[in-house]
A and B are shown apart, each in its own frame.
Chain A
Amino acid sequence: MKLVNPLTAIFHPPPTPGVLAVFGHLDATVEAIGQLRRGGHTDFTVYSPVPRHELEDALDQPVSPVRMFTLIGGIAGCAIGAWLTLYMSYDWPLVLGGKPIGSIPPYVVIMFEMTILFGALATILGIAFNALFAARRLGTVAYDARFTNDKFGIFVPSEPARAGQVESLLRAAGAEEVRRA
Chain B
Amino acid sequence: MAETSPSRVTYDFVTRTIARTLGNPGKGYYALLILAVALLGVGIVCLLFLLRYGLGLAGYSHPVYWAVYITCFVFWVGIAHSGTLISAILFLFRSGWRTAVYRTAEAMTVFAVITAGLFPLIHIGRQWYFYWLIPYPNERGLWPNFKSPLIWDEFAIGTYLTVSTVFLIMGLIPDIAAVRDVATGWRKKLYAVTSLGWRGTNEQWRHYSRGYLYLAALATPLVLSVHSVVSWDFAMAIVPGWHATLFAPYFVAGAIYSGVAMVITLLVPIRKLFRLDDLITVHHFENLAKLCLLTGLIVSYSYCTESFTAWFGGHAAERAAFWYRAFGPFWWASWTMNICNGLLPWLLWSKKVRTNILALFVISIFVNVGMWFERFVIIVVSLAGEPYERFANGPYNPTWADWGIMAGSFGWFFMWFLLFVKNFPAVSISEVKEVLPAPQRRKVAAS
B-contacting residues of A (Cβ < 8 Å)? 24-28, 45-52, 54-56, 59, 61, 63-64, 66-67, 70, 74, 84-85, 88-89, 91-92, 94, 103, 106-107, 109-110, 112-114, 116-117, 119-121, 123-124, 126-127, 130-131, 134-135, 138-139, 143, 145-150, 174
Contacts and interface: CB of A to CB of B under 8 A. Distances in A.
Given A127-B207, A150-B15, A113 B225 contact: yes
Contacts of B430: 49-51
Interface in B201-229: 201-211, 214-215, 218-219, 221-222, 225, 229
B93 interface: no
Interface in B159-212: 159, 162-163, 166-167, 170, 174, 177-178, 180-182, 197-211
B166 to A, nearest CB: 6
B313 interface: no
A134 B200 CA distance: 12
Contacts of B182: 145, 149
Interface in B236-283: none
In which size bucket is the chain B interface?
35 or more
Contacts of B207: 64, 66, 126-127, 130-131, 134
Interface stretch (B63-71, B413-421, B433-441): B433-441
A121 B162 contact: yes
B204 A91 contact: no
Contact of A124 (B146, B156, B211): B211
B155 interface: yes
Interface stretch (B135-143, B302-310, B400-408): B135-143
Contacts of A46: 201-202
Interface of B: 10-12, 15, 135, 141-147, 151-152, 155-156, 158-159, 162-163, 166-167, 170, 174, 177-178, 180-182, 197-211, 214-215, 218-219, 221-222, 225, 229, 430-431, 433-434, 438-442
Given A26-B439, A134-B201, A149-B182, A110 B141 contact: no
Query: Main SS of chain A's interface residues?
Result: helix
A180 B209 CA distance: 30
A138 B178 contact: no
B442 A127 contact: no
Contact of B12 (A28, A89, A145, A150): A150
A82 B33 CA distance: 45
Contacts of B198: 148
B218 A120 contact: yes
B146 A117 contact: no
| Shortest Cβ-Cβ A-B pairs, 6 listed | A150-B11, A88-B143, A134-B203, A145-B181, A64-B210, A127-B211
Contacts of A84: 135, 146
B162 A120 contact: yes
A88 B143 CA distance: 6
B190 to A, nearest CB: 16
Contact of A26 (B155, B158, B218, B440): B440
B143 A91 contact: yes
Contacts of A148: 15, 174, 177-178, 180-181, 198-200
